[in-house]
A and B are shown apart, each in its own frame.
Chain A
Amino acid sequence: MSVSHLDGQQMRRVIRRMAGEILETNGGASDLLLAGIRTRGVPLAERLGAAIAQAEGLDVPQGILDITLYRDDLSTIAPQPVVKESHLPSIEGKTVVLCDDVLFTGRTIRAALDALQDYGRPRAVRLAVLVDRGHRELPIQADFVGRVFQTQARERVEVAFPETDDGREEVVVLQPTSEE
């Protein structure tokens, strides 16, 4: 039983709006770099990039950031996450927009900021998330938010993109299942 929900069309609409906000805040697309955090920050960054390209007629560089190596919970999570490569063009002097699907405790973003540091010195770092579900454990806020969901801490927010989730495209809030 999900109270908060986005279907595919709503998602696309929300992402277009976020793209507009990014352009407006940045004063255009120059020196922007969209960095998707694995896994579902990557399709978000791609969609934001496409929307910006459509609006401005200009391809924004994109990158992929894998934050596994920067997590603070290496020995407590199971199963252990598989490390994947990061692909990041030079971030020197860029305004990097970190993209992630859901903003929850803020720990992923903390790790992503650490990771970015190892790649160079950006001019500024912004944060774009499709869903902000609250329950922060660190003083981190997003600059661009698709939707804010009121959730219980034990609920799970699932974002599905067709390329990562077998063709599904939606955002749902799931009740905790018994084994969790």
Chain B
Amino acid sequence: MAWSRKDLLGIAELSAEEIHLILDTAESFREVSERPIKKVPTLRGRTVINLFFEPSTRTRSSFEIAEKRLSADSLNFSSSTSALTKGESLLDTAMNLQAMAPDLIVIRHGHPGAPHMLARRLKAGVINAGDGAHEHPTQALLDAFTIRRHKGTLQGIEVAIVGDIEHSRVVRSNIHLLLKMGAKVRVAGPFTLMPAALETLGVEVCSSLEEAVTGVDVVMMLRVQLERQARLRVPSVKEYFRLFGLTKRHLSLAKDDVIVMHPGPMNRGMEISSEVADGPYSVILDQVESGVAVRMAILYLLSGAREP
């Protein structure tokens, strides 16, 4: 199949076929990162703007490396270094960037829908690198890529996603992706951090960590987003860890070959214990590695889809 989208805004609108294409393409790009010279000329002469309205180390550097390995010219705007904090509207910022004729814009924004608004207005392709608590499609794709490398498939795999569900864009993208690819998803977390009507998305909502992880192939821990909560919705870190912090004991309830994932950055001792984060089941660093290959694949596919 051929890629025809100008933008990658979310997983919700992708077909299983499109997801397969991205993951298969990413497999090929992994090889580039294993070469002595980790660079191909594919996007030579293309300009990519990384527009980050929220602090991000991991996602932004992953995109930057992917762009550089594809020989694109990339440019970073982040909220601390530009007019983004000076009250200029998102649309004005975008129109100014458009005047610089970029081919692709990677955007991270605190508000759901900000990338969609840009995509409607701009000729450049738009990649959503996280919009509020809405979607983070490249994270879900790299998670799927990591699971597929470890389990061979996503079909029939059981995944438990645990933590601050309400504030997580990662969980929404992952739920859409995993269900489209035939996996089963359970979620667990404090009910005060659980969005309304979550089960309508097709997931099983569990009331305890133990219930969620029993018999699963994959445990995905989410970061508790302390900075997004005006008032902490759990009484204390200690109580959170006791209820929903992942320890070795929990992993004994899961399948023997369970893998543990975390999109990072981790709050050790809040949602995950160090013995698990650094333990043999952890594939957290594989996720980071997968991120570059997946983002290269997306940059490649979106560049090719654009009108000449």
Contacts and interface: CB of A to CB of B under 8 A. Distances in A.
A and B touch in the complex (CB under 8 A): yes
Task: Give chain A's interface secondary structure class.
Answer: loop
Contacts of B42: 68-71, 74
Nearest to A119: B35
A118 B307 CA distance: 29
Interface string A68-80: 1111001111111
Contacts of A84: 28
Q: Give the 10 A-B residue pairs with the shortest CB-CB distance, closest first.
A: A79-B2, A80-B304, A69-B40, A83-B28, A69-B42, A118-B37, A85-B31, A76-B308, A75-B308, A85-B28
Nearest to B30: A85
B195 to A, nearest CB: 37
Given A74-B304, A76-B308, A83 B2 contact: no
Nearest to B29: A83
A84 B25 CA distance: 7
Contacts of B3: 80
B41 A70 contact: yes
15 contacts: A69-B32, A69-B40, A69-B70, A69-B300, A70-B41, A75-B304, A75-B308, A77-B304, A78-B2, A83-B28, A83-B29, A83-B297, A115-B40, A118-B40, A119-B35
A1 interface: no
A66 interface: yes
A118 B28 contact: no
Given A83-B25, A118-B35, A69 B307 contact: no
A120 B303 CA distance: 28
A70 B70 CA distance: 10
Nearest to A74: B304
B193 interface: no
A69 to B, nearest CB: 4
Contacts of B49: none
Contacts of B300: 69, 83
Interface in A80-106: 80, 82-87
Contacts of B91: none
B308 A69 contact: no
A77 B300 CA distance: 13
B37 A75 contact: no
B28 to A, nearest CB: 4
Contacts of B40: 69-70, 115, 118
